[in-house]
Structure 1
């Protein structure tokens, strides 16, 4: 919140990238506003700034049982997932201009296409 206030920016200038249990691993979605869904980082941002900011949801998948969520969220990616992780991050970087231009649909589509290719 302090950085936004210092630069006299509103939450419309904020984009938060976060892990998302409810998305398949390495899937990328954009969402404007919404609840925190139990995500501690989003909860903290909500408390300081409100919920109306853009979120880039990065799928990590659900481990299957709620008792395994903490270890899944805080743990490292498996060796077998490293190529998919690199492809996702590379696609996000390559298509980041669309985020800056606020063309979330184009960003999402182009990231998905890069991940398939």
Structure 2
């Protein structure tokens, strides 16, 4: 009886753990893409990760926040390299970003459009 109860509690733990992980992935990959907003940034550094085999670029703003510039299929955005090339260090831009900043998972907001500020 005790052994069977121990087996059941282990199975429940595995099922609940699986559900929790699935929910976390769902929130990270769908909930974040729906957060689209316009913000102003001044670019202080550009990092090109494409040569390292990664498919994204990084932008560090004057406020210290790090953004990614990568294709966002859920937004219909496939011009990450074009946006990255357009951004210049020292210039200020109005940028359209998607996603949410979640430091615990090292998730950064994604720039999908940039317009130079006057």
Length-normalised TM-score, structure 1: 0.19
Higher share in strand: 2
The higher radius of gyration belongs to: 2
Higher share in helix: 1
Length-normalised TM-score, structure 2: 0.19
Greater relative contact order (Cα 8 A, min sep 6): structure 1 or 2? 1
